[in-house]
Amino acid sequence: MALILAQVLVFNHIQLLGYATVFIYVYFVVMFPRNYPRWAMLLWSFFLGLTADVFTNTPGLAAASLTLTGFLQPYLLELLLPREMPEKMKVSSATLGFPKFSTLTAILVLGHCLILFSLESFSFFNVQQWALSIVCTTLLTFLMIIALETIRCKR
């Protein structure tokens, strides 16, 4: 809930150059542990996205994109993990290693931004603005998640 509050109260009001906004709530989906029930993961993702939609007046955009991100997370995690990892492993840069954690985060954030901005524009009339929004938001969100993860793991 702290992530959604930070998103609604702080990050939604910050836009860099009119293109980039931090979507910090994606960090919640990145952190789902290995072998977490997929139905629960999808429900959590949907309701977190729906909560973001209610407060940002974007009907269904965050819910749809975050639900798809939650759907992709276990498959990407299994691709990046060695087979001998424990079944109930928590996802963090300490357990995965920084390169694998940053790869997982980058792919999930890029997928979320791609879906969100594609649904938002619903056409590719201004492809340059669409692509610039995706790239800038992905980079900014990725850097913020990595910063939060670094602070979290230092404790």
Using the structure block, give the residue that is written with the tokens 């840069």.
93
Q: How many residues are present in the chain?
A: 155
pLDDT tens for 92-120 read 888 888 999 999 999 999 999 999 988 88
Is there a contact between 66 and 52 (Cβ–Cβ < 8 Å)?
yes
Calculate what percentage of the chain has a pLDDT beyond 70: 95
What local confidence, expressed as pLDDT, does residue 151 receive?
87
What local confidence, expressed as pLDDT, does residue 1 receive?
67
Q: How many domains does the chain have?
A: 1
The answer, yes or no, to whether residue 122 has pLDDT greater than 80, is: no
Work out the mean pLDDT of the chain and round it to a whole number.
86
Taken in order 120, 42, 12, 99, is the CA torsion positive or negative? negative
What local confidence, expressed as pLDDT, does residue 5 receive?
72
Three-state SS at 143:
helix
Q: Which domain holds residue 27?
A: 2-154
pLDDT tens for 61-89 read 999 999 999 999 999 998 988 777 777 78
| Stated pTM of the model | 0.88
41 or 19, higher pLDDT: 41
